[in-house]
Structure 1
Amino acid sequence: MRVLRTEVALDDDALVTRAQAGDLEAYDLLVARHTASAYRTAVLLGAGADSEDVVQEAFVKAYRTLARYRGDGSFRSWLLAIVANETRNLHRSRGRRDGLVLRAAAARPDADVAGDGAFDAVLAGERRAALVEALRQLPVRDREVIVCRFFLDLTEEETARMLGWPRGTVKSRTSRALTKLRGLLDREGIRHG
């Protein structure tokens, strides 16, 4: 007789514990749960067309080092730190080329657009394009902290862990980066909140 599984949403900690014990299905669930944010992280940090490769490599490395994950922070922030490191490795391996950062994000006009009607869609698209362009102009460290805090909604603590910075550095760099970003958007005449 087959026992029916009840659909219980396991939290990341439970899935990690099961995956560390060798449960591949649990790790598959973690991969499914975090692929979108890992991909978004890679894109926003500049992996561009190589984002899928970066994410795949990050999940492989995460699996290989899962035994070292101790749960000091969330699994998500631990994984996104690996994605960020893989993206940095990509930058080092192929060098810095103009227009690399956020190319995939700028090329995705099919992303969800807030508002109703064609006018709202066009306006939202123009604002998004201006934001992407302004973000491209920021220095790498400023761009990274903005992406972590506001595009990925990481806490200061998670951002500090992901970027390997002290929490105070995250706070001060976030403030300075936002000031720079606002200045760039003001020059373009884009309203911000």
Structure 2
Amino acid sequence: MTPPDAGFAEFVAARATALLRTAHLTCGSAAEAEDVLQSALERAYRNWHRLRGDADPEPYVRRIIVNLAISRARRRAVLRFIPVHSPPDLPFVRRDIELRQVLLDALRALPPRQRAVVVLRFWEDMTEAQTAKVLGCSVGTVKSQASKALARLRVLVDREVVTNVDA
């Protein structure tokens, strides 16, 4: 008989950095991302006996992360401002650091669900179907949320870039 946690440690060792990045981008702060990831891994561990048979338990854990991040954001009355100090493990060229900060500020301004769609679709490079599965919604919802989010990001980034050029 296999122990209840067979494979869990290996899964965490292999995917923790990517899961932390997803948590950080959906939450907006490193400290909260660590809390969300810890809670998500705890929930996954409790259900690991069901997940062991799955070819890939990562979508299940990502869904937990996104749901926890959205729930926490809803509980906080302040949805527009979630401080981000610096994202983990993102490779950017030095000259793009200011643009990165503008983009992350704009990302924080999005509602939690739209932020989750953008993070999963474009940072994590998931398909619309994979994103829909993680979020527990239809592909059409992912498409509409992505469209709204990208339109809002364009406005926010353009406004910030124009403001910085004029200054």
Query: TM-score, length-normalised on structure 2?
Result: 0.80
Residue by residue over 1:32-90, the C-alpha shift from the partner in whole angstroms, topping out at 9 and shown as x without a partner, is 1111122112211126222212211211110111233363x842211100112222343
Q: Which ranges in structure 1 are unaligned for 5 or more consecutive residues?
A: 1-19, 116-120
Which residue identity lines up with residue 107 of structure 1 in the other structure? H
Which residue identity lines up with residue 115 of structure 2 in the other structure? R
Q: Percent of aligned positions with the same letter in both sequences?
A: 34
| Distance in 2 between residues matched to 1:109 and 1:170, nearest whole Å | 24
- Relative to structure 1, is the Cα distance of residues 150 and 108 closer, same or farther in structure 2, using a 3 angstrom cutoff? same
Matched, 1:146 2:118: yes
Aligned residues between the structures: 160
Quick one: which of 162, 172, 175 aligns to 2:134? 162
- Relative to structure 1, is the Cα distance of residues 99 and 137 closer, same or farther in structure 2, using a 3 angstrom cutoff? closer
Matches within 5 A, 1:31-42: 31-42=12-23
- Relative to structure 1, is the Cα distance of residues 111 and 37 closer, same or farther in structure 2, using a 3 angstrom cutoff? closer
Residue 187 of structure 1: how far off its partner (Å): 1.7
Q: Which ranges in structure 2 are unaligned for 5 or more consecutive residues?
A: 163-167
CA-based RMSD: 2.7
Work out which structure has the larger RCO, using CA pairs closer than 8 Å and 6 or more positions apart in sequence.
2
1:173: which partner in 2? 145
| Distance in 1 between residues matched to 2:88 and 2:44, nearest whole Å | 30
Matched, 1:108 2:86: yes
Flag the structure with larger Rg: 1
